Amino acid sequence: FDRLHDRYVQQLMNGLETARRKSLSYGQAQKALTVFLKVYVDWAGQPNRAIRRRLLPWLHVPLDSIIMKGVGRSYPRWYAREIRPLARRSCRYLSLPMVDHELYHRWQRLFREKWPPKPLLFDVVWAMNR
Among left, alpha and beta (phi > 0; psi -120 to 50; other), residue 90 is: beta
Task: Determine the 3-state secondary structure of 23 from DSSP.
Answer: strand
Q: Is 65 in a helix, a strand, or coil?
A: helix
Q: In order along the chain (130 residues), what is the average pLDDT of each group of 10 residues?
A: 96 91 93 96 96 97 92 93 80 79 95 96 80
Backbone angles phi, psi at 20, to 5 degrees: -90, 15
Distance CA 89, CA 14 (A): 24
Tell me how far apart the alpha carbons of residues 45 and 47 are, in angstroms, rounded to a whole number.
6
17 DSSP 8-state letter: B
Give the per-residue pLDDT at 91.
Answer: 59
- Residue 105, exposed/middle/buried by CB under 10 A (0-12, 13-18, 19+)? middle
